[in-house]
Chains A and B, each alone.
Chain A
Amino acid sequence: MGTANVAVKSRAAPLQWRWPLVWASLLALCVLGMPHLEALFRLFEPDARQVVYTRASFATLLWRHLSVVAVAALAGIVFGVLAGIAVTRKRGRDFMPLVAQLASLGQTFPPVAVLALAVPAIGFGTWPIIMALLLYGLLPIVRNTLSGLLGVDAEVKTAARAMGMTPWQVLISVELPLAMPIILAGVRTSVTINIATAALGATVGASNLGDPIIAGIINNNTAYIVQGAVVIALLALTVDSLFDMLQQRLKTSRSAA
């Protein structure tokens, strides 16, 4: 190694795919193999006419569930991170308490209540549930973006400015990368909560993995409820382990300082 490899590539540790793969395989098995598990679910409801939910395939339900959570999460990241950035700039500082309070308000407001208010306003379907999830998931993202950005060593930020970085460069190359592990932890919390909460969508006509659960409650069919719950749990575990993998990678590829 004779010359300076200045554009040092991150020699990041390889991603630890083990747990995400385990959970994803279980999820896939469950989703695709549900019709073959009839005998098992018969144990829950020996007398029911039908024991496996079939109004829509679990693959379709999973896809819809995931899309709703993903759209809400993306919107949450965009709004949450932008708001966090805005109020940590000099000009936005005055708004910091306001934004922090609004975000907590979003979380104290129950998603069911959001649905109840949103449906009359924008009708049944996917949008009310996306709105409810967005509001519900915003707090962890905003809160962690704030604490991540505020936690960046003042000395490091001063050095960045002193070396002649523009405010934009300081944000992109210094503040965000250093805050990233904490922001990511916030996104993880938000998404994991929302995978469970999204099931509520079934009550307002947004068909997703909540459907079997609601149908089970209405028809008094425990097997349906178990199917919906298990698939949602496996989905949550898969996504959570993916986040865990990303966080581990961030941790090993940069300083702990």
Chain B
Amino acid sequence: MIELIDVEKRFGGVAAVEGISLRVPSGKVCALVGTSGCGKSTTLRMINRLIAHDGGEIRLDGQPIDSVDPVQLRRRIGYVIQHTGLFPHWRVARNIALVPRLLRWPKERIEARVAELMALLGLSFDELAHKYPHELSGGQAQRVGVARALAGDPDILLMDEPFGALDPLTREKLQEEVARLQSSLHKTIVFVTHDMDEALRLADHLVIMRAGRIVQQGSPLALLRAPEDPFVESLLGGLERGLKQAALMRVRDHMGSLGPSLPSASRISIDASLRQGLSIMLRDHAERLTVVDGKDVPVGELSLRRLIKETQWEQPTSP
């Protein structure tokens, strides 16, 4: 668990971040979102003591980070840096092996770990292990960056705009992969992003920052349902907020049982999002969709009328 309690950082008298309090339970993903220069990277870097905080307290699993040697602390925390920061004079395999080597793992274990991570991140060992970073594509370099951060098997992972410099398709692919990895690895993750869709997609807990302060935090759905001020609302997509919200809701949770009326010819998978459902309704001019399971067997119905009537759309969930 990561806890920040009223944390503050000043650069030459000017506060870069102030009054930051947040809690990320073990195994959860927290996203820091905000405009450029609002203190996201600073907040992230205080967690592994790359930057010393000036006020408040930061605890990992209850232990204040000041009580741990920074070098030891950092070896326990994975870090994915903006623009990868791979060592240009080391090959891919050695870059990934960095933290295990610092931790003095036996050679065989390191080798196995590098091969395992490269496979996990979809990097071909034979093709890439012996390349230098400048010989990689942007997407490959980012994957290597993530592999390097995971190599020491840290419980905590900090990621600073991990997919910042990628094209939208590669970016989405990597997001999916990180989501998939997270569902099996259960790391405690704090990541920074400019991309609200990325934050909504990956985060359990969303923190919106402005000018060094937290404006609002909570689950993505809670924020979408009840943004507390216009800034948060505009970050959350303004008029598109409804669709972003729908993207986070699943057909499974909002379908009704098959009615007596004739089933609709338009179909949607039970695992799809409501956003996809709405899109199909618009495309097919259908007010109702037949929900099918993995074997294409109808299991329910998604009705626009019912969706609109559902109270959950507008009201915040009570805590």
* CB-defined contacts of B134 to chain A, threshold 8 Å: 255-257
**What does the 1/0 interface line of A142-179 toward B look like (CB < 8 Å)?**
00000000000101101111111110010000100110
* CB-defined contacts of A174 to chain B, threshold 8 Å: 87
Q: Does A18 contact B (CB under 8 A)?
A: no
* CB-defined contacts of A153 to chain B, threshold 8 Å: 85, 88
Q: Of the candidates A3, A159, A166, which one forms a contact with B85 in the assembled complex, judged by CB atoms under 8 Å apart?
A: A159
* CB-defined contacts of B72 to chain A, threshold 8 Å: 164
- Contact between chains at A158 and B50 (CB < 8 Å): yes
- Contact between chains at A163 and B111 (CB < 8 Å): no
- Contact between chains at B87 and A156 (CB < 8 Å): yes
Which residues 85-112 in B have Cβ within 8 Å of A in the complex? 85-89, 91, 93-94, 97-99, 101-102, 107, 110-112
CA distance A244 to B48 in the complex (A): 43
Q: Does B173 contact A (CB under 8 A)?
A: no
CA distance A6 to B116 in the complex (A): 13
Which chain A residue lies CB-closest to B90? A8
Q: Which of A4, A8, A161 has the most CB of B within 10 A?
A: A4
- Contact between chains at B94 and A8 (CB < 8 Å): yes
**Chain B interface SS verdict (over half):** helix
Q: Does A1 contact B (CB under 8 A)?
A: yes
- Contact between chains at B102 and A4 (CB < 8 Å): no
Q: Does A89 contact B (CB under 8 A)?
A: no
Q: Does A7 contact B (CB under 8 A)?
A: yes
* CB-defined contacts of A178 to chain B, threshold 8 Å: 88-89
* CB-defined contacts of B101 to chain A, threshold 8 Å: 6
- Contact between chains at B132 and A254 (CB < 8 Å): yes
* CB-defined contacts of A5 to chain B, threshold 8 Å: 93, 111, 129-130
- Contact between chains at A257 and B114 (CB < 8 Å): no
Which chain B residue lies CB-closest to A161? B50
- From known contacts A1-B126, A4-B129, infer whether A163 and B74 are also in contact, taking CB-CB under 8 Å: yes
How far is the CB of B130 from the nearest CB of chain A, in Å? Answer: 6
How far is the CB of B90 from the nearest CB of chain A, in Å? Answer: 8
Binds A, one of B75-83, B235-243, B306-314: B75-83
Interface size class, chain B: 35 or more
- From known contacts A156-B87, A177-B89, infer whether A161 and B74 are also in contact, taking CB-CB under 8 Å: yes
Q: How many A-B residue pairs have CB under 8 A?
A: 104
Interface size class, chain A: 20 to 34
- Contact between chains at A155 and B82 (CB < 8 Å): yes
How far is the CB of B157 from the nearest CB of chain A, in Å? Answer: 12
* CB-defined contacts of B97 to chain A, threshold 8 Å: 4, 6
Which residues 32-49 in A have Cβ within 8 Å of B in the complex? none
CA distance A169 to B98 in the complex (A): 11
* CB-defined contacts of A156 to chain B, threshold 8 Å: 85-88
* CB-defined contacts of B75 to chain A, threshold 8 Å: 163-164
CA distance A256 to B82 in the complex (A): 21
- Contact between chains at A4 and B88 (CB < 8 Å): no
- Contact between chains at A155 and B83 (CB < 8 Å): yes
How far is the CB of B53 from the nearest CB of chain A, in Å? Answer: 16
Which chain A residue lies CB-closest to B114? A4
CA distance A169 to B112 in the complex (A): 24
Which chain B residue lies CB-closest to A11? B130
* CB-defined contacts of A255 to chain B, threshold 8 Å: 88-89, 132-135
**What does the 1/0 interface line of B120-156 toward A look like (CB < 8 Å)?**
0000011001101111000000000000100000000
- Contact between chains at B133 and A257 (CB < 8 Å): yes
- From known contacts A3-B112, A4-B114, A6-B114, infer whether A163 and B89 are also in contact, taking CB-CB under 8 Å: no
Q: Does B115 contact A (CB under 8 A)?
A: yes
- Contact between chains at B148 and A163 (CB < 8 Å): yes
* CB-defined contacts of B118 to chain A, threshold 8 Å: 4
Q: Does B169 contact A (CB under 8 A)?
A: no
Q: Does B262 contact A (CB under 8 A)?
A: no
- Contact between chains at B87 and A160 (CB < 8 Å): yes
Q: Does B282 contact A (CB under 8 A)?
A: no
* CB-defined contacts of A8 to chain B, threshold 8 Å: 91, 93-94, 129-130
* CB-defined contacts of A11 to chain B, threshold 8 Å: 130
Interface residue ranges, B against A (CB under 8 Å): 48, 50, 71-76, 79, 81-89, 91, 93-94, 97-99, 101-102, 107, 110-115, 118, 125-126, 129-130, 132-135, 148
Interface residue ranges, A against B (CB under 8 Å): 1, 3-8, 11, 153, 155-156, 158-166, 169, 174, 177-178, 254-257
Given contacts A4-B114, A160-B87, 13 further A-B contacts (CB under 8 A): A3-B112, A4-B110, A4-B118, A156-B87, A161-B50, A161-B74, A165-B71, A165-B98, A174-B87, A177-B89, A254-B89, A255-B133, A257-B133
Cβ contacts A to B, 25 pairs, < 8 Å: A1-B126, A4-B97, A4-B110, A4-B112, A6-B107, A8-B129, A8-B130, A11-B130, A155-B84, A155-B85, A156-B86, A156-B88, A159-B84, A159-B86, A160-B87, A162-B74, A162-B79, A163-B74, A164-B99, A165-B102, A169-B102, A177-B89, A254-B88, A255-B89, A257-B88
